[in-house]
Amino acid sequence: MSLDLAITGLGLVTPLGVGREAVFEGLREPDAATQEAFRGPSSVLEAYDRAHVAEVWGWDPREHLGARGHRSLDRMTQFMIAAARQTLGDAGLARDGALTVYDGDRVGLCTATAYGSLDAISELSRVAELEDPRYINPTRFPNTVANAAAGYVAIWEGLRGPNTTMIDGHCGALDCVLNAATHLRLGRADALLVGGAEVLSEPLYVALAKLGLLRDAHEPERGLCLGEGACYLAVERADAAAARGARVLGKLSGYGSAFEPPARESRLVEASPDAVSRAVRDALDEAGLAPRDVDAVASSHADLPALDDAELAGLRDVFGDDVRVAAPKQVFGETFGAAGALGLAAGLAWLAGCPVAPLVGGGRDVAGERPPRVVVATTVGFYGNASAVALTAA
């Protein structure tokens, strides 16, 4: 049985801009979008002149959150509030800061992040270590727990429904689709904001650089490029969306997730082709679709061969060579917890006529063909975890 969930709104804070229209406009010209997203130099990582990252350039919370009240909110929380506000407006669920369709008790959030509280932990840890534990800032302390950001969104936007934060590395935002589907099917909420957020931070950059995973001047062709952003989809049951006459951007039809650990006991980091193919097959089964129905894949491809090769092998196992595989991360950068949501956002842009690009893995060039009707978003984790979501045209 298909998930049958309507996406009635999309809100984003990305290096391409804030809001669905700005981001879709950027995605019309994917090569230019990549240039734009990585225009640098980074202000968050200004101490690291090798940093090649996709930053939310010139972020000013006052533009999106008003003049006051956000001083103690960290960067990720600010992104999430702005994205949530955009999403509610885009879905026609709120106007002038007030919910208009559903009671606030019936609207909730399901948010993924992977390293969202790292920045706050680092900031306080630095004070504790170099000055005194007594001097850590009490208003920054809540930011050290991963769910606080979503708690702030609830406060700012008046959303008092189920409020879940999920962590599954790269895969969390796609996993939020199942969590939301469960709540909506059981009548626990009328609408949920589903997505994820991640931010650039010094500790994350330093750790990944230390592990040799990042692209820099010495390896200009290979390696992760970090990005940042927040992205929410407004999700409602398809029947409820139809009943209120909502505009539907696309439908979430199926979900799959799998874990395949490394065969060798001593290994920890190893992506799995089998997990990818199983997740995709399960998502298609639930959607009632066959591999040949799929027009494009919003993949997890991030110029990190250890993960990319596994993903492409898993996709080939399902689709052969007969599908376009694109890499939204070449535009948005690697955003871990937000990645699945940005993949779905790219998919929605393709359904709306943006070109399926940038292509990777030798997908055939079909410029000028009709827009896709079915997109599969995939995410691949470091440890053998993978998730997939089938996205279909309204």
Partner 1 sequence: MQRVYVTGLGVISSIGIGRRAYWEALLAGRSGASEVESFDTAGMGRSIACEVKGFDERDFLTAAEQQRMARCSQLAVASTRMAVEDAGLEPAALAGPRTSVVLGTTMGEAHLLEEQQQRWFLGGTDAIEANLLPRYGTTLLPIHVARALGARGLVQAIPTACAAGNYAIAYAADLIRAGRADVVVTGAAELLERLQFAGFVRIGAMSPDRSRPFDADRKGLLLGEGAATLVLESARHAEARGAAPLAEVGGCGLACDGFHITRPDADGRRIADSMREAIATSGLRPGDVDHVNAHGTATAANDVIESRAINDVFGAHRPAVTSIKSMLGHSMGAAAALEAVACVLSLDDGVIPPTIHLDHQDPECDIDVVANAPREVPLEVVLNNAIAFGGQECAVIFAKPGRLPESADPPGVARASREAAR
Partner 2 sequence: MSDNLKERLREIIAEIAEIDEVPDEAPFKDLGIDSMMALEIVNDVERTYKLSINEDEIEHLTNLNAVYAKVQQKLAEAA
Applying CB under 8 A, the residues found at the interface with partner 2 are: 68-69, 71-72, 127, 131, 134-139
Q: Which does 362 bind (CB under 5 to 8 A by kind): partner 1, partner 2, none?
A: none
Choose between 139 and 266: whose C-beta lies nearer to partner 2. Answer: 139
Q: How far is CA 95 from CA 118, 162, 250, in A?
A: 33, 22, 22
Choose between 97 and 135: whose C-beta lies nearer to partner 2. Answer: 135
Q: Does 209 bind partner 1 (CB under 8 A)?
A: yes
Q: Does 126 bind partner 1 (CB under 8 A)?
A: yes
Select from 34, 87, 164, 201 the one that contacts partner 1 (CB under 8 A): 164
Choose between 230 and 249: whose C-beta lies nearer to partner 1. Answer: 230
For residue 51, give every residue at least 6 positions away whose Cβ sits within 8 Å of its Cβ, in sequence order, or none. 40, 41, 42, 45, 205, 216, 226
Q: Does 284 bind partner 1 (CB under 8 A)?
A: no
Q: Does 152 bind partner 1 (CB under 8 A)?
A: yes
Question: Helices 273-287 & 305-319, crossing angle to 10 degrees?
Answer: 40
Choose between 68 and 210: whose C-beta lies nearer to partner 2. Answer: 68
Separation CA 27–CA 8 (nearest Å): 20
Q: Does 161 bind partner 1 (CB under 8 A)?
A: yes
Choose between 92 and 158: whose C-beta lies nearer to partner 1. Answer: 158
| 304 burial level (CB within 10 Å; 0-12, 13-18, 19+) | buried
Select from 56, 84, 148, 331 the one that contacts partner 1 (CB under 8 A): 148
Q: How far is CA 333 from CA 14, 36, 52, 53, in A?
A: 10, 12, 10, 7
Q: Rounded to the nearest whole angstrom, what is the least distance from the CB of residue 124 to partner 2 in the complex?
A: 11
Applying the rule CB under 8 A, the residues between 257 and 276 that interact with partner 1 are: 257-261, 265-266, 268-269
Q: Which does 372 bind (CB under 5 to 8 A by kind): partner 2, partner 1, none?
A: none
| 265 burial level (CB within 10 Å; 0-12, 13-18, 19+) | exposed
Nearest by Cα to 193 from 335, 89, 74:
89
Interacting stretch for partner 1, rule CB under 8 A, among 30-38, 58-66, 80-88, 100-108? 100-108
Q: Rounded to the nearest whole angstrom, what is the least distance from the CB of residue 132 to partner 2 in the complex?
A: 8
Residue 21: other Cβ atoms inside 10 A: 12
Separation CA 56–CA 122 (nearest Å): 21
Q: Which does 163 bind (CB under 5 to 8 A by kind): partner 2, partner 1, none?
A: partner 1
- Give the tokens for residue 94: 């709120």
Mapped onto helix, strand or coil, the DSSP state of residue 291 is helix
Choose between 68 and 370: whose C-beta lies nearer to partner 1. Answer: 68
Q: Rounded to the nearest whole angstrom, what is the least distance from the CB of residue 145 to partner 1 in the complex?
A: 5
Strands 374-380 and 94-95: unpaired
Select from 41, 66, 97, 133 the one that contacts partner 1 (CB under 8 A): 133
Helix (H) or strand (E) segment spanning residue 222: none
Separation CA 165–CA 148 (nearest Å): 9
Choose between 57 and 141: whose C-beta lies nearer to partner 1. Answer: 141
Q: Rounded to the nearest whole angstrom, what is the least distance from the CB of residue 117 to partner 1 in the complex?
A: 8
Separation CA 61–CA 73 (nearest Å): 10
Choose between 22 and 167: whose C-beta lies nearer to partner 1. Answer: 167
Q: Which does 69 bind (CB under 5 to 8 A by kind): partner 1, partner 2, none?
A: partner 2
CA–chain centroid gap for 275, Å, is 20
Q: Does 306 bind partner 1 (CB under 8 A)?
A: no
Would you put residue 60 in left (φ > 0), alpha (ψ -120 to 50) or beta? Answer: beta
Residue 287: other Cβ atoms inside 10 A: 26
Residue 353 · residue 370 · CB < 8 Å: no
Q: Does 168 bind partner 1 (CB under 8 A)?
A: yes
Select from 119, 175, 198, 303 the one that contacts partner 1 (CB under 8 A): 175
Q: Does 371 bind partner 1 (CB under 8 A)?
A: no
Residue 108, beta-bridge partner list: 192
Applying the rule CB under 8 A, the residues between 103 and 122 that interact with partner 1 are: 104-106, 108-109, 114-115, 118, 121-122
Q: Which does 146 bind (CB under 5 to 8 A by kind): partner 1, partner 2, none?
A: partner 1
Q: Does 102 bind partner 1 (CB under 8 A)?
A: no
